[in-house]
A = this chain, B = another copy of it.
Amino acid sequence: MQKEYFMKKAIQQAKLSLKTGDVPVGAVVVKDNKIIAYACNKKEKKQNCLAHAEIIAINKAIKKLKTKILPDCELYVTFEPCLMCVGAILSAKIKKVYFGAYDLRFSCANLLKENNFNFSTDVEGGILKEECGEMLTEFFKKIRKAEKLNAN
């Protein structure tokens, strides 16, 4: 299915985050069934807390299309967007958001639909959620193991 196809492309991006010790999250922006922007989380690589995959992907799409907003675009992201990215998605007036794994601690995706912020957008979670979530579980397992080794 098409949704799974684009989420797989976002997963490929997420894996690139691992190369720089970044939490594996990836995103793609789709317009007319074509990917127009790819990005992965680069908080560690860029040493910048704002360098989330969604923000980088939205900025790339805006530059590529030379438009201020992205009303004809969809965003695929492997992990449920945080508060900042939800705000960015609403600012960009993105048509629909598909995400993979759910953020069980700070779930923000419902804010996309709430229509309290000048715009609301459709959202569907859980696309390839096992695959998206496993990358994160593995990543944090390794980090905890390394921390344990350092502590000993």
A: residues with CB less than 8 A from B are 43-44, 47-50, 52, 55, 58-59, 62-63, 66-69, 82-88, 90-93, 105-106, 108, 111, 116-118
Question: A106-B118, A116-B106, A118-B105 are contacts. A49–B83 as well, Cβ < 8 Å?
Answer: no
Q: How many copies does the complex hold?
A: 2
Partner of A87, one of B48, B58, B84: B84
Please state if A55 and B62 are interface contacts (CB–CB under 8 Å): no
Which residues from chain B contact A69 at a C-beta distance below 8 Å?
Answer: 49
Which residues from chain B contact A106 at a C-beta distance below 8 Å?
Answer: 116-118
Chain B, Cβ-Cβ closest to A87: B84
Which residues from chain B contact A82 at a C-beta distance below 8 Å?
Answer: 87, 91, 117
- The 6 A-B pairs of least Cβ separation, nearest first, read A84-B87, A83-B87, A49-B91, A84-B88, A47-B68, A49-B69
Please state if A58 and B50 are interface contacts (CB–CB under 8 Å): yes
Partner of A84, one of B48, B84, B93: B84
Known A-B contacts: A44-B68, A50-B59, A83-B86. Give 9 more (CB < 8 A): A47-B67, A48-B63, A48-B68, A52-B91, A82-B87, A82-B117, A83-B117, A106-B118, A108-B117
Q: List 10 A-B contacts (CB under 8 A).
A: A44-B68, A48-B59, A48-B63, A48-B68, A50-B59, A83-B90, A84-B84, A84-B91, A106-B117, A106-B118
